[in-house]
Amino acid sequence: MARDQRWPELHLSNWRTTRDTLHLWTQIAGKIRLVLTPRSNHWWNVPLYLSVRGLTTSPIPYRDGQFEMEFDFTRHQLSIATTWNGSRQIALEPQSVAEFHRRTMQALHALGIDVRIYARPVEVPGAIPFPQDEQHHDYDPEYAQRFWRVLLSSTEVLHEFRCRYLGKVSPIHFFWGSFDLAVTRFSGRRAPEIPNADAITREAYSHEVSSAGFWPGGVSATGLELGDAAFYVYMAPTPPGFGDQKVLPAQAFFDRNFGEFLLMYEDVRTSPAPERTLMEFLQTTYAAGANLAGWNREELEVRSEAQHAA
């Protein structure tokens, strides 16, 4: 695959309204998975996953069978397939969130799947209930596909990074609430309880973590804004001095508002070797945090990891 296809231009200003609409559409599918899938630690039962065509819920158990919902960014449709041979497709095209929600629930009902979800977005400032949202309706198929290709290319690097770890590590998954791709390493130690945290946050950060991923930019759940796509790495809890560490590449920086190291996607895309640049960022930021937090790196990492990040 050509470089421009693997790492295409993805400036937020060129697809922001599509990004916001797609964020809300994925929340509808994600909430369906959340309701029907057994709960897993750290909420690993809720994300979506990359597929060869887009983003999928993976198989969801339902009565005596299973079904799967997939955002297909090659045919530009939401496909709902079942083990009892029924299927439905919903076109991904300009339409309001309210219309997409209505069509999705109708398609599920036609397949014999009855499910109720909390019909309001989460982690979205000024959230409008799905059935009432006529505000978000844009869909640019070119940029939706570009976004998926960036996720695919990022997943390849994150997968190699993940495989260098012997300790507990999450799948590489797409959180529809925060709209980001993530992989998380665990030290194996419990973390101090976060004061006044809600139940979701307490569960997500019950243990020490180093988390890395990709976010297309926009407004976060806390109202912070990042004007373009970026890769990130953070530690929870954050060890003192983490933001003062020197990491690679030179374009990487620590954003004290987000509390994360960031490397803008454009800096990766335009580098001579995007995969190497991204891996350098992942390795050096993880190593900086793990060293400060006193993680037992000798026991937690594949031996060759020390060759990549001291």
- DSSP labels, 28-55: HHHHHHHHHS---GGGTTS-BEE-SSEE
- % of the chain at pLDDT higher than 70: 97
8 A C-beta contact, residue 115 and residue 36: yes
pLDDT of 231 strictly over 60: yes
Per-residue pLDDT, 309: 52
Per-residue pLDDT, 117: 97
Mean pLDDT of the chain: 95
Instruction: List residues bridging with 235 in a β-sheet.
Output: 210
Per-residue pLDDT, 69: 98
pTM of the model: 0.95
> Strand 49-50 relative to strand 77-82: parallel, antiparallel, unpaired?
unpaired
- % of the chain at pLDDT higher than 90: 87
Helices (runs of H) and strands (runs of E) counted in the chain: 9, 14
**Average confidence (pLDDT) over 120-135:** 96
- For the stretch 176-195, pLDDT in tens is 999 999 999 999 999 888 88
User: Given pLDDT bands bounded at 50, 70 and 90, which one contains residue 29?
Assistant: very high
